[in-house]
Amino acid sequence: MEGGGRPSAAQAVLLGASTAITALLYSVYRQKARVARGLEGARKVRLDGDLRAVLLEAPGRCVPYAVIEGVVQSVKETLSSQFVENCKGVVQRLTLQEHKMVWNRTTHLWNDYEKIIHQRTNTTPFDLVPAEGGAGVTVRVMKPLDAAELSLETVYEKFHPSVQSFTDVIGHYISGERPKGIQETEQMLKVGTALTGVGELVLDNATIKLQPPKQGMPYYLSSLDFESLLQKQESSVRFWKILTLVFGFATCAVLFFLLRKQYRHHRERQHLRQMQEEFRQAQERLMNAEGGETLKNACVVCLSSTKSCVFLECGHVCSCHECYQALPKPKKCPICRQGITRVVSLYNS
């Protein structure tokens, strides 16, 4: 603590940073909890012949947040894999990712570094249909790339290592970057994949559509079933809650430490003021006693006992016998600081 009981700059920065991190974590936790509550309260609808009737009875022919499970089926043409034969899908993502080692000048270690140098995503319209078939009810999936968890399966992956000459190796060590190679990946949402869709379900003319909700809730297209998806979100909520509590306790500990320091400083100042007040009152009592004679004959050390010692060789009469005994060695006169060779007792008659 600095003068006046104020916290130091480092302590103030520590408290501010801890408070800011706690507030940020709490904000993330609130957002995750809101998503989990919304997902738990989503209306589960079945992909069957009654779905159209349910939407007709709903306000605005819309269920704001609904859960529906079905199987992927393309509307027109399908997308074919560029590397795997007879692999058909409705979403295709091709990625080229660079892998290299980068020298860290702080830790003096080589660290892995990955960078996407090219990515292309192709889509084609698709529906969700009942897994058992037969009912003939379909749900058109809108804006699948906006989904928070679009489940794409990796159907092809190949790593192309970089070819380096001796001169290249020397240059890489000098520059601090060592390329490892290029990874080529193809991911697809295949036809026939079972999906759980969570979003706004609306009846638009004769077409039932699943689209991103308007209330700010997340849009899901996941290969997990609804219970597993809900458990995943609840686990995320617990993680952020624990993290928030840990940093919250740390913030409270820092705040308690600073307040305790300030309280102790306040007590010390209060005790000092009390001692000064007692000393002032003692002086007033001595001044008022016998017209000031008591203060005139009082020991200059304790101001309570009468002077009873003559210090030689200086000759000062300024202390009582008890205060003389308490003087540190070598004993010196409190008035002139001259060494005391002997003491003669003074008796007042």
Q: What is the DSSP string of 315-339?
A: --EEE-HHHHHHSPSSPB-TTT-PB
- Candidates 337, 316, 315; CA nearest to 328 is 337
List C-alpha distances in Å: 307 to 16, 283, 299, 314, 348: 59, 16, 5, 15, 9
Euclidean distance between CA atoms 340 and 117, whole angstroms? 91
Does residue 160 contact residue 187 with C-beta atoms inside 8 Å? no
Q: Is the dihedral of CA 61, 65, 66, 70 positive or negative?
A: positive
Residues with Cβ within 8 Å of 36's Cβ and at least 6 positions away in sequence, in order, are: 230, 233, 234, 236, 237
Euclidean distance between CA atoms 35 and 24, whole angstroms? 17
Helix/strand/coil (H/E/C) assignment for every residue in 103-116: EECCCCEEEEEEEE
- Candidates 111, 112, 116; CA nearest to 97 is 116
How far out from the chain centre does Cα 198 lie? 29
Does residue 241 contact residue 249 with C-beta atoms inside 8 Å? no
Q: Which CATH superfamily is domain 299-345 in?
A: Zinc/RING finger domain, C3HC4 (zinc finger) (3.30.40.10)
Burial of 279 (0-12, 13-18, 19+ CB in 10 A): exposed
Euclidean distance between CA atoms 191 and 188, whole angstroms? 9
Q: Is 87 strand, coil or helix?
A: coil
Domain boundaries defined on the chain = 8-41+225-282, 45-224, 299-345
**What integer pLDDT is reported at residue 277 of this predicted model?**
82
Q: What is the pTM of this model?
A: 0.66
Residues with Cβ within 8 Å of 32's Cβ and at least 6 positions away in sequence, in order, are: 233, 236, 237, 240
Euclidean distance between CA atoms 84 and 158, whole angstroms? 12
110 phi and psi angles, rounded to 5 deg: -90, 125
- Candidates 212, 221, 231, 230; CA nearest to 69 is 221
Count of residues making up the chain: 349
Does residue 314 contact residue 286 with C-beta atoms inside 8 Å? no
End-to-end CA gap in the chain: 56
pLDDT mean values, one per 10 residues, the chain (349 residues): 65 88 94 91 87 88 91 90 91 94 87 92 92 76 89 92 84 85 94 92 89 88 90 93 94 90 88 81 65 65 81 84 84 84 76
Does residue 335 contact residue 314 with C-beta atoms inside 8 Å? yes
Does residue 212 contact residue 245 with C-beta atoms inside 8 Å? no
